[in-house]
Amino acid sequence: MASIIKTSINLNAIPKDKIINGKKGKYLPIVLTLNDEVDQFGNQGPVIVEQSKEERESKVQKTYLGNVTVVWTNGDNVEPAPRDDNRGPATPLPTPVSDDLPF
């Protein structure tokens, strides 16, 4: 049951009051939803900010941050989104070496 899911989120849409200050950093609880159908843009679900039980019960509007697309799966759980191009797997770009790094 393995999949690779890609997403990007709109950082400007993050409500500051939902950011949790933890011991090792700041966190934003999010929810990824995988739908059975692909939408007209090739997405398979939304990324939203997690809501409390009270927010869900009072029908507070969801904060959408982005969309998800399944790009690979072993076939046990979800299907990858169809591709409209004939590209093969992405080839990793060479990493430039820089000696001016501070570590």
pLDDT tens sequence across 22-41: 999 999 999 999 998 899 99
pLDDT at 70 over 60: yes
Q: Which string of b and e fits 21-43 if b means at least 16 CB within 10 Å?
A: eeeeeeeeebeeeeeeebeeeeb
pTM, to two decimals: 0.70
What would the mean pLDDT of 70-74 be, rounded to a whole number?
86
Average pLDDT value for the chain: 84
